[in-house]
Structure 1
Amino acid sequence: MALYESALEQARRGVILELGTFCGKSTVYLAAGVEPSGGLVVTVDHHRGSEEHQVGEEYHDPSLLDADLTRIETLPYFRRGVRPVVALDSARRISRVPRSLCRSRTLARPAPHL
């Protein structure tokens, strides 16, 4: 709830940037928090996990291993977890929170809406 409340309050200041998305749980709270004001959350992640998530490390989760690529791949989990989610605003109205994915080089281009 703290992420939701923080995003709700900070959305009026501009775009919220989340560095390190992993599987997207925090992204859902941030997106739900900015939705009532029409705000925007931009998340940046390479979706390969951190050092501690790699094979043989303490927080390795075998379910995140892409056998074809022989590396950690969290993007499929992010896509499932951050589907257009249902959000409740302060009046308890239900709305949809859209998502879009792009490569960082695409986002890095000057964009008039950012």
Structure 2
Amino acid sequence: MPARDGVIWSATAIPGREPGRSRATGSGLREFAESRELAYVMAIGCNRHVTTVTGRTARADTIIAGLPKRKWHTLSAGDGAKGQRLYRWAFVALADAEGAAPGHRWLLARRDR
């Protein structure tokens, strides 16, 4: 998936907490949020290598490009100046950091409809 087609996100979900969002990539931001058990969503480069729960390691855009159509869901991001903002979303479970509870890391992608 070329970068212009969407934004690729790395997401962490902590039960019972609403996620925050950030495009900041400052050193230590992820560690800061996780050490305080804060849920967050952070943009990553499409060329970043990630490891899925199945053990596959590849570029984020390569993993997203390989998803079948049934994995993409159209959801509204609310009303915009030209009407409803609809995007297609998909996610892939990622391997958790050592010592972390399972099921908390995801690769989330958004494409224009």
Instruction: Give the structure-1-normalised TM-score.
Output: 0.30
The structure with the larger Rg is 1
Structure with the bigger percentage of strand? 2
